[in-house]
Amino acid sequence: MIDIKLLRENPQAARASQHARGEDEGIVDAILAADERRRSSLSEFERLRAEQKGTSKTVGEVMGRLGAAKKAGAAPEDVHALEKVANEARRAAGDLSDRVKGLQAAADEAEAELGALMRRMPNIVIEGVPAGGEEDFVELTTAGRSPRDFAAEGFEPKDHLEIAEHLGLLDMARGVKVAESRFYYTVGQGARLENALMQLALQTAYDNGFTQIGVPTLVNPTVMTGAGFLDSHADEVYKLGTDDLYLTGTSEVALAGFHADEIIDLTDGPLRYTALSTCYRREAGSYGKDTRGIIRVHQFQKVEMFVYCRPEDAEAEHERLLEHERGMLDAMEIPYRVIDVAAGDLGGPAARKFDCEAWVPTQGKYRELTSTSNCTTFQARRLGTRERTENGTRIVATLNGTLATTRWIVALLENHQQADGTVRVPAALVPFLGTEVLVPDGR
């Protein structure tokens, strides 16, 4: 959720952000109108509440005088006059009470409308983010090794699934048998390769100062909403209706909720966490896309980095996360590029996102392996995560980035395949996998 003060002070920046995303600019004016109604109702409510207190005091005084007059045996005409004043005071108090209740209801209604509109509003993109949709990214660099010339090496590259089935690394058919399409088994060396990737990623995070956390993969609606995953992508999320819990598609969600409703200490610098978790995504709307192999699946493993920092440090932390991701890709010895994702392809919480995409030889193109997002104060504002300052408290910034996922196996197998059907293991993975070459029946 963005800061309402920012919208009031600079609505044009919010409109420009919506335009860059290709989304409705009118929501900015709708939010400001609801905010004005809420503030106006609250102001009038407070004014009438003060008047109500004065009227109640008057009623009390008149009733006291009436009681005293009766007790003292005052003349009937004096008692009658006091009763008339008391009745008028009570009637005025009743009218005020009704008006106060009406204003309270109007303020509550405006508050609910404002909250609903604010939850629909995505983060404001950072200046410099390219406008447009999925294809409007800006390529920042190509890196790693150059794509191999398989023709010069004398053989036609196989795709990752053909390699994996030849080596006995994956079993797609049994995944479908026990679940449905887009589920799979990793087997033998395949399971070990996946685990080796995750362990290298965790070690990389640890070496760079991240604290490892084991996280829940089920979270409640408050945390799921707070992290920004029920706004426009609710159809991607698996929900356990009986328990009112959600399966997470990334440990980012649980890590975002780790310090919910807390005041954290950032005097010694950002808090950096990492987690390995099983992730679940419905892949709604992806019918017919990437149906072969494990590029787009419902369940996978992922190592995520997550940072809490001061808002002014967020852009520097974003660059750090990107460097960690690039370090992992360099260690995997595969060609890749870094792109600045266009505004229309950002998730709601992200103000900027960099993707690292690996070269997939059989597809002749780059495919996403990692993302890192600067969510500024969007998630922390929803989840109530603050830091203490000299002037009180303020909302912190959050960022996230991926160090490895099961999908990396695609790029590893295709880029390191050899003419004899085996696959060379990158040197950085050898200590974790225990072999330099993947071979058939290698267990």
- Mean pLDDT (whole number) for 386-415: 97
Q: Which residues pair with 276 in a beta bridge?
A: 303
Which candidate, 370, 365, 341, 360, places its Cα nearest to that of 415?
Answer: 360
Distance CA 351, CA 310 (A): 15
Query: Quick check: 59 and 88 in contact, CB under 8 A?
Result: no
- Mean pLDDT (whole number) for 301-307: 98
Radius of gyration of the chain (CA): 30
- Of 23, 49, 368, 424, catalytic: 368
DSSP string, 388-406: EETTEEEE-EEEEEEEEET
Distance CA 374, CA 351 (A): 6
Question: Which pLDDT score is estimated for 78?
Answer: 67
Question: Which pLDDT score is estimated for 276?
Answer: 98
Q: Is 407 a catalytic residue?
A: yes
Distance CA 424, CA 439 (A): 9
Q: Is 281 a catalytic residue?
A: yes
Please state whether 269 falls in left (phi above 0), alpha (psi between -120 and 50) or beta: left
Query: Quick check: 304 and 401 in contact, CB under 8 A?
Result: yes
Q: How confident is the model at residue 123 (pLDDT cuts 50, 70, 90)?
A: very high
Question: Which pLDDT score is estimated for 340?
Answer: 98
Cα 280 versus chain centre, distance: 15
Q: What is the pLDDT of residues 160-196, one digit of tens each?
A: 999 999 999 999 999 999 999 999 999 999 999 999 9
- Of 65, 148, 296, 394, catalytic: 296
Q: In which order are the strands placed within the sheet that holds 263-264? A: 263-264, 386-389, 392-395
Q: Is 296 a catalytic residue?
A: yes
- Of 17, 251, 277, 371, catalytic: 371
- Mean pLDDT (whole number) for 195-199: 98
The answer on pLDDT for 317 being more than 80 is yes
Distance CA 121, CA 118 (A): 5
The answer on pLDDT for 364 being more than 90 is yes
Sequence-separated (6 or more) residues with CB below 8 Å from residue 210 = 272, 273, 274, 305
Least trusted range by pLDDT, from 10-19, 129-138, 231-240 = 231-240
Question: Which pLDDT score is estimated for 61?
Answer: 67
Q: What is the pLDDT of residues 338-361, one digit of tens each?
A: 999 999 999 999 999 999 999 999
Q: How confident is the model at residue 86 (pLDDT cuts 50, 70, 90)?
A: low
- Of 304, 386, 407, 414, catalytic: 407
What are the residue ranges spanned by the domains of the chain? 24-120, 134-438
Q: What is the pLDDT of residues 266-291, one digit of tens each?
A: 999 999 999 999 999 998 777 788 88
Residue indicated by tokens 């209706």 = 241
Work out the number of other CB atoms within 10 angstroms of the CB of residue 381: 22
- Of 38, 281, 381, 382, catalytic: 281
Which candidate, 404, 338, 357, places its Cα nearest to that of 205?
Answer: 404
- Helices 408-415 and 160-167, interaxial angle, to 10°? 80
| Fold of the domain built from segment(s) 24-120 | Helix Hairpins (1.10.287)
Three-state secondary-structure class, residue 361: coil
Least trusted range by pLDDT, from 81-90, 284-293, 298-307, 377-386 = 81-90
Question: Which pLDDT score is estimated for 53?
Answer: 65
DSSP string, 327-351: HHHHHTT--EEEEE--GGGS-TT-S
Token pair recorded at residue 301: 């493993």
Q: What are phi and psi of 90, to 5 degrees?
A: -65, -40
Mean pLDDT (the chain) is 91
More confident site: 107 or 434: 434
Q: What is the pLDDT of residues 5-55, one digit of tens each?
A: 989 999 999 999 999 999 999 999 999 999 988 888 887 777 777 776 666
Q: Is 15 a catalytic residue?
A: no
Which candidate, 398, 402, 400, places its Cα nearest to that of 1?
Answer: 398
- Mean pLDDT (whole number) for 80-87: 71
Question: For residue 435, what is the DSSP state?
Answer: -
- The answer as to CATH 3.20.20.10 being correct for domain 134-438 is no
Q: How confident is the model at residue 72 (pLDDT cuts 50, 70, 90)?
A: confident
Distance CA 353, CA 416 (A): 28
Question: Which pLDDT score is estimated for 115?
Answer: 86
Least trusted range by pLDDT, from 90-94, 196-200, 240-244 = 90-94
Q: Is 127 a catalytic residue?
A: no
Q: In which order are the strands placed within the sheet that holds 397-405? A: 138-143, 336-340, 352-360, 365-374, 397-405, 299-309, 271-280, 211-212
Work out the number of other CB atoms within 10 angstroms of the CB of residue 101: 12
Question: Which pLDDT score is estimated for 104?
Answer: 80
Q: How confident is the model at residue 144 (pLDDT cuts 50, 70, 90)?
A: confident
